[in-house]
Amino acid sequence: NNVDFHSITALAVAITSMTTNLTGTPAVEQKLTVSITDNGTARAITWGASFESSGTNILPTTTVISTRIDVDLVWTGTKWRCVGVH
């Protein structure tokens, strides 16, 4: 419930857990978009226990060199579920 959009730009190291230091109390069906762009080198993304793929929408595990990735998420009541990647 703190933000609906979060942008990470010029990512210079791998993300070892998106869950670490995650704060807020989201409401069921709340939406969140996370935008990630690296610094010209592909970086690993580890989402952690608070995130899940939906089956048809898979959480990305790496950035694409110098390309913005937008990950659309919805709070299920227990986890942020990936509902789109573009």
> What does the pLDDT read at residue 1?
66
Task: Sheet with 69-75: list strands edge to edge.
Answer: 5-11, 31-38, 69-75, 80-85, 51-52
Residue 58's pLDDT band, with cuts at 50, 70 and 90, is very high
Averaged pLDDT of the chain: 96
pTM recorded for the entire structure: 0.94
pLDDT band at 2 (very low <50, low <70, confident <90, very high): confident
End-to-end alpha-carbon separation of the chain, Å? 23
CA dihedral 13, 74, 79, 45 (to 10 degrees): -20
